[in-house]
Amino acid sequence: MTQFETEIYLRYRQIIELQGVGMSVLAGGASPAPQRVRIEDLLDRYDAFCFDGYGTLYNRGSFVYEGAQDWYTMLRAAGKEMRLITNAASDVDSVLAADAAKRGFAFSEAETISSGSLLKDLCAELRGCGKAVREVYYIGRETGKHVLENCGIKAVAPAAEPVEPIVAISSAKDTPETYALAVKILKRPGAILLVLNSDAWAPKIPDDDGVTVREPVSGALSERLRRDSMCETNGGDGCETYYLGKPFPAIWEKVKCSLPVGSRVLMVGDTLGTDVLGARVAGFDCALVVGRNVPAEELETDEKALGIRPDWYL
């Protein structure tokens, strides 16, 4: 991980701990090295398997990672509960489920839980505190506006400012102009930053030689905005920031409510700072797919930096 990426995920961990998740839940950095296993080795250990989407099962377009379809087919045949737990906020859950199905992973809408689906509850909470959330300055994919619309929120024009100083980020689709305007908005009194996708870095599709390149995404953009919003107006603390999705607790409560009581759950993902940390928050076991968002040669260093380890390596 870059130093910036490490700082972001350590900030996430600190926020979660301040929300009341104890160190005993997040412990794991000093545990014995996880075993390297195959999914079939874990069939008898777990009743439910939760999968990250991008970087674990598939990537942009129609790209599917080798072996991922076999995992899906095997678990369906074994009658296991399955969930798609994604930080993608590029559309509503029904569309995300349909997109996964086009790639060969037929998760139903009820089996699909995205970070964007948490926005409605957050908006209700903010409105209950007297904060109007009716329009926002939005940076992200055009289809991400469907998530906002589903919550009764309008995205203002790219060159306009919302009445209330609220910026929403779902992906790193900024330009110098949109970034500058977002910072201006976030320096206004009472400004709010809504991070619809907390992923800081993500892997691109491997090149022809099998090399995976990683790139900063929405979580990194949001942290840059948060830091650049620090000014006299907000006492140097920056805008008020709300994070949706993994690793934060709200998404895991939704996952638990969707599963049979007492299920033994495994979270499978490619990212230490969202999937593994998130599984620890949920109280789930976790398996890390090595070599995508965590290069194998950086694994030990990254685990020590974040103080977390998965139960298994895939």
Cβ atoms of 14 and 230 within 8 Å: the answer is: no
Task: Report the percentage of the chain scoring pLDDT > 70.
Answer: 96
Contacts of 103 (CB under 8 A, 6+ apart): 57, 58, 62, 64
| Of 33 and 269, the one with more pLDDT | 269
178 Cβ neighbours under 8 A, 6+ residues apart: 139, 158
pLDDT tens for 122-174 read 999 998 888 889 999 999 999 999 999 999 999 999 999 999 999 999 999 99
Domains present along the chain, CATH in parentheses: 3-114+255-269+289-313 (3.40.50.1000), 117-243 (3.40.50.1000)
| CA of residue 275 relative to chain centroid, distance | 8
Between 69 and 129, the higher pLDDT residue? 69
Check residue 14 and report its DSSP letter: H
Q: Using an 8 Å Cβ cutoff, are 168 and 218 in contact? A: no
- Residue pointed to by tokens 């700082």: 7
pLDDT value of residue 13: 95
**pTM of the shown model:** 0.94
Going by C-alpha positions, the residue among 110, 82, 77 that lies closest to residue 96 is: 110
In this predicted structure, what is the pLDDT of residue 23?
46
Q: Which helix (H) or strand (E) holds 13?
A: helix 3-18
How many Cα neighbours within 13 Å face the side chain of 306?
34
Q: What is the mean pLDDT of residues 8-16?
A: 96
Q: How many CB atoms lie within 10 A of CB 178?
A: 16
Q: What integer is the mean pLDDT of 65-82?
A: 97
Q: What is the pLDDT of residue 127?
A: 87
Confidence of residue 94 (pLDDT cuts 50, 70, 90): very high
Cα separation of 105 and 98, whole Å?
A: 9
Q: What is the DSSP string of 163-232?
A: SS-EEEESSS---HHHHHHHHHHHTSTT-EEEES----EEEPPP-TTSPPPEEE-HHHHHHHHHHHT-SG
Query: What single letter denotes the amino acid at residue 311?
Result: D
Report pLDDT for 21: 67
* Residue-level pLDDT at 26: 60
Going by C-alpha positions, the residue among 85, 125, 108, 100 that lies closest to residue 242 is 125
Which among 192, 200, 205 has a CA at the least distance from the CA of 238?
Answer: 192
Residue 210 has pLDDT above 90, yes or no: no
- The fraction of the chain above a pLDDT of 90, given in percent, is 89
Mean pLDDT, all residues of the chain? 93
pLDDT, tens digit (0-9, with 9 covering 90-100), for 286-309: 999 999 999 999 999 999 999 999
Overall average pLDDT of the 222-239 stretch = 94
Q: Which of 15-24, 206-215, 245-254 has the lowest mean pLDDT?
A: 15-24
Q: What is the dihedral of CA 162, 163, 167, 173, to 10 degrees?
A: 0
- Has residue 31 got a pLDDT over 90? no
Q: What is the mean pLDDT of residues 60-70?
A: 94
| Residues 75 and 42 sit within 8 Å (Cβ to Cβ) | no
Q: Among 206, 136, 135, 196, which residue's Cα sits nearest to residue 171?
A: 196
pLDDT at 29: 45
